[in-house]
Amino acid sequence: MVIRERTTARSQVGECPGSFSDTLPAAEARVRELIAGRHSKAALEAAKDLHKRYATAGSEGVLLEAYEARIRDLLRHGMSIEAKSLLNLVIQRFPSALARLEEVLFEVRMSEGNLDECVAPLKDPNLAPAVRERIETAIRQHVFDLPALFQASSLPPTHSLRQGAAALIAALKAVTSAPVGEADLLLPQVSHRSPLASWKTLVNAIATFYRRDDATCRKWLQAIAADSVPARLLPALQAMLGSATAPVLNSAAKKLVAATGAGGEALRSALTSLESAMAAKRRPPILEKARAAVSVCERFCPDLREKLHQYITIRCMVLGFAPDSVRDAIGGSPRKDARWFHLMAKAMESTSQSFEGLAHALIAWEAFRELGLEEKSFAVNTVEDGVLSLHMAELAARIPADVADDLRSLVYRGNSPPSKSGLTPRRLFSPNALYERACASDPHSDAFQSWLAWAKKQCDWRVAERVAESWHQACPQDVAPLLWLMESSEKRSAYQKSLKYLEQAEQLDRLNPEVREAKLRLLLAGVLRHFRQHKPHLASQGIERIEASAERDGGLVALVSALRRVCAALDKDPGAVDRHAAEVEACLGSCVAAYVLHRGIADAAVLAPEETLLDPLDTKSYDGMTLLKGLAKACALADSVGIPLAIPEEWEDRLSAALIAPHPALHSAELLVVGEAAIRSQASSLAFAVSVAGMASGGVDSRFLFLRARALPPWASERRYDCLSAALELARRERNTDLTGKLLDELRCCPSNMFAPDDFLDEVGPDSHSMEPGFLNEILACERAAKQFPVPGGNLPARDECDEVDIFPDETNFAHSEDVLANMPPELARELTKAIARGAQPEEILKGMLPGRSGTGEREDLFGFPAAELLREIKKAMAMGVTPDDILEEMEDVLAGDFRKGRFHRGVQKKEKPGAVRPQQGSLF
């Protein structure tokens, strides 16, 4: 700066009459020009030369002017000692100019903190007006330290300047600290002729600024003397008022603007404008407004510049703008720090509609982790690292394993893996690796629970066992991993091992209801296994342990009696059978409930009715309501001990009829138990009827909507999706986390339209599945009004969209089915279409296609395969918990003629979901 000044000055001096060939006025003008340009040193040299040559009063005046400028320059650069020396030199050399130099003398004294001496002459009431005016002008122009003026001991305490300074100090503090009243702004101590008058004006301007009375504030600002000290605040205040021609601010002014938040207003206004342009999605205005917003931000809130760059770039990326155009508009690329990748990851996570997008989000999260560690936002293997890895694991778990394999090569095409200390690409997409890292960094129950929940869904049970073992090692006081290990061992028929785990769990927390429940289930599973093995004496021992281990309530007594009844039947002891049967009836208070329980136990033990000496119930003797109540009672008991009861097929119509009665006399919990049993028994129309009764009785809509969604036939996929989404929204409002989890699982496997194009599996819906209140109410109203099990083109809900959703007018919506139908004989295709239209079950469909339609005789066959055997296979599959979708899929193969004996069973085994029941092991879990 100094070098530049010298160079420029030299050149200007060179241009000026260094040879002094110019006339005096021209030379004077040149010196003044240099002074105005703040080239005080050059100006002084030129003035000295000028005075040496002409030595006139005029040249002396110019020289004094140059000295003044030089002294002020020195003061400006904080060189007060040099300034004072120079001033003394000038006064010595030009004593007659003392009066003229008074002002600069005042400034020099001020810079030395010698205000006392400066204002001292003012105490003289007879001070010459000209001198008084000069001092007062100096005060107006140079005194910024009001406390120093207030403390000027050379003036009496009652002097107007000291009193005015005191009043202004108090007023400034008041107006900048809190809202003030008008009385605080009157300041009678400061007259309008006072050299401090502009301060009074400033106080009023600040007060009106805080009152947001911007027009009045501007008027006050206009009244501030331009040469006064308070005028130094004008640029900042004008900027804070959002002046269109905002001046350049010095650092203190910028800080003030940022501190008051007034700069934020200007920025907010620019951003609102940008947001509107983005909403319109028109490129030129967006880039223009983005440029303007960045400019405002740089001026008023420079600290926010980088953050704003990052946000604008992300938003423009989401809008599909080329990075170059955005970079040009906002004047550079955003800084690629941890915050950038955090924003990127979140943006991809929330906008992504494909698994590829999720994969990119995972990569961004990993980069965020790397940079976060580098920036020391958090450390490796800490709680924070664990939380981040857990989030990533949950994200990775949403990508199917086979899709992840493809994506791995796709997203890393041409890119090197981002992490040095992080995971390799292979492991980055592996939920298991991410969960492992999360649990290693922050071993706590929630993380392990999430990991185990994922592992349970894997085909290989050993994955879940390893997770449970790790959990047990990391958190030895948690019973949950032990219960899972117990359950898993029991499933694999490792009964002794499962007992060992149970023992460990009991040692930890014997009174824990989950442990007690698990114990009961395990003991019961052992009893059922002994039934299957026809070892009633061993079963009896198990029954005694059950009796001893649990509290004897009505339900348990009934269960024990029912189990003893089976023992008696296997021992061929009809008397004992009758006795125990009577006990069960007495405990449950219902023949129907007793029968359903006996039958459920026999089914769970895979015993034929004749083996358990169980006679069919004469249902004609009971009305529908009695059947319904008995069923509900038995199901509630069986559910509590983990026996999945099935509803007798022949009861379904009567139960449905009972449910549509005006007062079914079952409360919500009972209805839900029956509904779950209906779903388990593939009795969709009955489950639907339960949901109708539940919603009509004002039950918990979320649960009944969930039930309805699962009861709907496969072709009503979009309605099913809406029901699930509505149920999810309601469950969230009810803060029912258990139901929310189930619904999210269901939604992740539930395409909104099963007839979508083939690549629909690559699409991933938003994880939130949030729903607008209006739409939710529409769905609720529509579903409450729907009383009939849906059939295509039949009883449609009244919702506007339903016309598009549920009507399957023709070929388009049955496109997928047609592919299947095209491969089968026309008569079968016709039958199948009819059956699907009725919402029939797979076995009904098969029955319907049998030539004789006379039941399930052994001689009837379908393409040479005995139909009864096929039906038995289907029933077995249903008992194993195979989903309707899987059965339907197998049916398609059957109907396409691709069936070979035994293939169905093998197919089911192959597709069996982890945790699915395996009857050959007698699992109850």
Residue 272, interface with other proteins (CB under 8 A)?
yes
Residue 229, interface with other proteins (CB under 8 A)?
yes
Residue 230, interface with other proteins (CB under 8 A)?
yes
Query: Assign residue 879 a region: left if phi > 0, alpha if psi is -120 to 50, beta otherwise?
Result: alpha
Binding mask 177-196 for other proteins (x = CB under 8 A): xx------------------
With H, G, I as helix, E, B as strand and everything else as coil, classify residue 713. coil
Buried b (16+ CB within 10 A) or exposed e, 42-59: bbbbbbbbbbeebeeeeb
Which lies closer to other proteins via its Cβ, residue 233 or residue 588? Answer: 233
Residue 20, interface with other proteins (CB under 8 A)?
no
By CB under 8 A, name the one of 83, 87, 196, 267 that touches other proteins.
267
Question: Distance (Å, rounded) from C-alpha 842 to C-alpha 853?
Answer: 15
Question: Distance (Å, rounded) from C-alpha 654 to C-alpha 594?
Answer: 18
Q: Mark the segment that binds other proteins (CB under 8 A) among 1-9, 176-184, 428-436, 597-605.
A: 176-184
| Shortest Å distance, C-beta 343 to other proteins | 4
* Positive or negative: CA dihedral 417, 423, 427, 432: negative
By CB under 8 A, name the one of 105, 161, 293, 637 that touches other proteins.
293
| Shortest Å distance, C-beta 260 to other proteins | 5
Buried b (16+ CB within 10 A) or exposed e, 225-258: eeebbbbebbbbbbbbbeeeebeebeeebbebbb
**Is there a contact between 779 and 701 (Cβ–Cβ < 8 Å)?**
no
Q: How many CB atoms lie within 10 A of CB 215?
A: 8
**Sites for other proteins among residues 489-528 (CB under 8 A):** none
By CB under 8 A, name the one of 3, 248, 259, 749 that touches other proteins.
259
Residue 74, interface with other proteins (CB under 8 A)?
no
Q: Which amino acid is at 257?
A: V
By CB under 8 A, name the one of 308, 631, 637, 782 that touches other proteins.
308
| Shortest Å distance, C-beta 241 to other proteins | 10
**Sites for other proteins among residues 857-876 (CB under 8 A):** none
Q: Mark the segment that binds other proteins (CB under 8 A) among 264-272, 472-480, 814-822, 903-911.
A: 264-272
**Sites for other proteins among residues 313-332 (CB under 8 A):** 314-315, 318
Question: Distance (Å, rounded) from C-alpha 730 to C-alpha 740?
Answer: 9
**Sites for other proteins among residues 387-416 (CB under 8 A):** 387-388, 390-391
Packing angle, helices 305-318 and 323-330, rounded to 10: 150
Binding mask 441-460 for other proteins (x = CB under 8 A): -x-x-x---x----------
Query: Assign residue 227 a region: left if phi > 0, alpha if psi is -120 to 50, beta otherwise?
Result: alpha
**Sites for other proteins among residues 575-634 (CB under 8 A):** none
By CB under 8 A, name the one of 63, 66, 206, 683 that touches other proteins.
206
Cα angle 210-216-222, degrees, rounded to a multiple of 5: 110
Binding mask 637-676 for other proteins (x = CB under 8 A): ----------------------------------------
Residues 6+ apart with CB under 8 A from 510: 516
Residues 6+ apart with CB under 8 A from 589: 633
Residue 255, interface with other proteins (CB under 8 A)?
yes
Residue 311, interface with other proteins (CB under 8 A)?
yes
Paired residues of 861 in beta bridges? 866
Eight-state DSSP code of residue 153: T
Q: Measure the N-to-C terminal CA separation of the chain; round to a whole number of Å.
A: 83
By CB under 8 A, name the one of 20, 54, 94, 210 that touches other proteins.
210
By CB under 8 A, name the one of 221, 233, 522, 671 that touches other proteins.
233
**Is there a contact between 855 and 865 (Cβ–Cβ < 8 Å)?**
no
Which lies closer to other proteins via its Cβ, residue 347 or residue 588? Answer: 347
**Site residues, other proteins (CB under 8 A):** 76, 144, 172-173, 176-178, 206, 209-210, 212, 229-230, 232-233, 236, 240, 250, 252-253, 255-256, 259-262, 264-265, 267-268, 271-272, 274-275, 293, 297, 301, 304, 307-308, 311-312, 314-315, 318, 342-344, 346-347, 350-351, 377-378, 383-384, 386-388, 390-391, 442, 444, 446, 450, 735
